[in-house]
A = this chain, B = another copy of it.
Amino acid sequence: MTTKNATIKDVAREAKVSVASVSRVLNGLGGVTPVTQKIVREVAARLNYVPDNAARSLITGRTHTIGAVLPDLHGEFFSELIRGIELAARAQGLHLLLSSTHDGIEDAAAAMRAMRGRVDGMLILSEHVDAAFLEENLPDKLPAVLLDSPVKSARYPVLNIDNRAGAIAMVGHLIEAGHQQVAFIGGPKTNYNAQQREKGYRTAMARHAPDAPLTLFDGNFSEESGYRAGQQMLAKKPRPQAVFAANDMMAIGCLRAFREAGLAVPGDIALAGFDDILVSRYLTPPLSTVQVRIADLGRLALERLAALLNRTDKTPASVQTLGCDIVIRESCGGKAAAGAASRKLRKPPRPSRS
């Protein structure tokens, strides 16, 4: 036999006060005698009363929940991102509604629409998002923060990883270590992070080894694609002296191709990745890579969103960039040393001239 959960009316009746007083006490609004307060609290506790959130948000218009729309939940990246977001949300007294999207833009739109009325704001990470899309699919004036996005909107703050600086630092290190000819294995064409990493590669090459050839291989962030790129590399006439993969998984695949061909890393060829996933440090040889503090990215994004919700946020919507560090292990043949690819949290590479 199901006993219904207690409502505010039950508490009011038992405490012999009005529902208004119960509400005032439980929300700490004051204007209630200590004695009344005590009674109300006791009754509420006795009845195991918990306010109904649906009713509350119906009238207040606030859900104290934020939604996260992520493209997939696979791998360390999203695990860490979610962790960062959840931790920060919990610290802000916010709940986290999680949604993944798989089948492209329509899917993302559906996910966003389904969150209407369930969340006070959204964290969005999607390749398909642009300003027009947001305009169309975000409920009126619902605050949102974008992650890993090229969008420049006056309305939505964006939080990015400084992929470019990270790539530049790593390629720079490779060249300084004596490997002029650095090849690059790229990620998915539509992935913003991948695009920026490629840009960084090009920039660093132009800057530090302008005479060396630019050698790019296609990849899609999967180990398999890295493996294929590695094989292609072996067939190349003048073999590159070093390889910079746009992520660690591809570096791992590449390493496998090299090993199968009897090529020593870093003896015959140097190798570096991007992300610093857990695996990287346990490889043989341990993989040099660019470390991204993904949990921090999630935390910062949520804090930015929370600021928006609280209207604490005075600064206009802007693009923030989270720096990353290169971590040098054995795979690139340099002496072990770590350097900051860019400072802690900083403004975008090219601030408005001022």
Residues of chain A having any CB pair with chain B under 8 Å: 2-5, 50-55, 57-58, 63, 65, 73-76, 78-79, 82-83, 86-87, 90, 95-100, 113-118, 139-141, 252, 277-279, 282-284
Contact of A284 among B76, B87, B98, B284 (CB under 8 A): B284
With A58-B52, A58-B55 as given contacts, are A118 and B73 in contact (CB-CB < 8 Å)?
no
Report yes or no: B82 in contact with A98, Cβ–Cβ below 8 A: yes
Kindly report which residue of chain B lies nearest to residue A53, judged by CB atoms: B117
Asked if B116 and A53 make an inter-chain contact with CB atoms under 8 angstroms apart, the answer reads yes
Across the interface, A140 reaches (CB within 8 A) one of B5, B76, B98, namely B5
Partner of A4, one of B50, B57, B90, B140: B140
Least CB separation from A116: chain B residue: B50
Nearest 3 pairs of A and B residues by beta carbon: A79-B79, A53-B117, A73-B83
12 contacts between A and B (CB under 8 A): A4-B140, A53-B117, A54-B55, A55-B58, A65-B118, A79-B82, A82-B98, A95-B99, A95-B118, A97-B98, A98-B98, A284-B284
Is there an interface contact between A73 and B82, defined as CB atoms closer than 8 Å?
Answer: yes
Min Cβ gap A226→B in Å is 13
Which of A114, A282, A283 has most B Cβ within 10 Å?
A: A282
Report the minimum CB–CB distance from A81 to chain B (whole Å). 10
Chain B residues within 8 Å of A78, by CB: 79
In chain B, what residue has the closest Cβ to A283? B282
Partner of A117, one of B3, B54, B82: B54
Interface pair A139/B5, CB less than 8 Å apart: yes
A97 partner residues in chain B, CB cutoff 8 A: 65, 95-98
**Apart from A86-B100, A97-B97: 6 A-B pairs, beta carbons within 8 A:** A5-B140, A50-B117, A50-B139, A52-B58, A79-B79, A90-B100
Instruction: Say how far A175's CB is from chain B's closest CB, in angstroms.
Output: 27
User: A96: shortest Cβ distance to chain B, in Å?
Assistant: 5
Quick one: given A52-B117, A117-B50, are A3 and B140 in contact (CB under 8 Å)?
A: yes
Q: Are B118 and A51 in contact (CB under 8 A)?
A: no
Interchain CA distance A97-B279 in the complex, whole Å: 29
Q: How far is the CA of A148 from the CA of B305 in the complex (A)?
A: 34
Please state if B95 and A114 are interface contacts (CB–CB under 8 Å). Answer: yes
Chain B residues whose CB sits within 8 angstroms of the CB of A118 once the complex forms: 53-54, 65, 95
Contact of A73 with B79 in the complex, beta carbons under 8 Å: yes
CB neighbours of A99 from chain B (8 A):
86, 90, 95-96
Nearest CB of B to A335, in Å: 21
Give the residues in chain B near A5, CB-CB below 8 Å: 116, 139-140
Q: Answer whether A98 and B117 are a contact pair too, CB < 8 Å, given A3-B140, A282-B279, A282-B282.
A: no
Closest Cβ of chain B to A159, distance in Å, is 19
Q: Which of B76, B82, B113, B284 contacts A82 (CB 8 A)?
A: B82
In the complex the two chains form, what is the Cα distance from A151 to B282 in whole Å? 37
Could you tell me if B86 and A73 are in contact, using CB atoms closer than 8 angstroms? yes
A279 and B277 CA atoms in complex are apart in Å by: 9
Interface centre among A5, A51, A54, A113 (most CB of B within 10 A): A54
- Chain B residue with the shortest CB-CB distance to A101: B90
- Nearest CB of chain B from residue A193's CB, rounded to whole Å: 19
Contacts of A252 in B (CB 8 A): 282
- Cβ of A74: which chain B residues have Cβ within 8 Å of it? 79, 83
> Which of B50, B57, B96, B282 lies in contact with A98, CB distance below 8 A?
B96
